[in-house]
Amino acid sequence: MGNIQTSLRKALVWAVAFLAGACQFENTSSIRKSTEVAQAFETLQLQGFPRYRYYFLNQENNPFGVAGLEGDYWMQGPDWKECSPDSPVFSKVVRLVQSFPVPGSRTEGYYIVDRQGRQIGVWYSSLTAGITIDPDSKKVMITTSTPWLQQ
């Protein structure tokens, strides 16, 4: 009887873990490489994304990426800072992201797309990113490796 209860508990734990993962996966979105996005950042010509709010990852003098999010989409966190695309800080951050990619990588542009495939933002970085969007609050979470912790 003890083996059956143990097996049932294990099965229940696996089922709960699977369902929790499935719920998280449902909100997972993606990035799609784009030369148009890369060129917009490289030339600081972001008029193609008029209603975007921009954020950079890590510190102003050591950024690892820049994200732009459309309309009601937003993000927050200790490693993210919001920045106006018209500010000197923004152009400085973009130039640093462009000029100093993570070793062994190169800086590229991407569209951020929701799970329906709709473009909701842009990503400019030498880091690949995992994107999760809460469809109710429209909060975007961008997960990357953390090279600044290895320095």
pLDDT tens string 7-17: 445 444 343 33
Q: Does residue 11 form part of some domain? A: no
At 52-69, the pLDDT tens digits run: 999 999 999 999 999 999
What is the domain count for the chain?
1
State what percent of residues in the chain have pLDDT above 70: 77
pLDDT above 80 for 151: no
Q: How confident is the model at residue 19 (pLDDT cuts 50, 70, 90)?
A: very low
- Mode of pairing for the β-strands spanning 28-33 and 108-113: antiparallel
On whether the CB atoms of residues 59 and 78 are closer than 8 A, the answer is no
3-state secondary structure of 83: strand
Q: Does residue 13 form part of some domain? A: no
On whether the CB atoms of residues 52 and 84 are closer than 8 A, the answer is no
Q: Does residue 21 form part of some domain? A: no
Three-state secondary structure readout of 11-42: HHHHHHHHHHHHHHHHCEEEEEECHHHHHHHH
Burial class (CB in 10 A: 0-12, 13-18, 19+), 65: buried
Q: Does residue 38 form part of some domain? A: yes
Q: Which domain holds residue 88?
A: 29-149
Q: Does residue 100 form part of some domain? A: yes
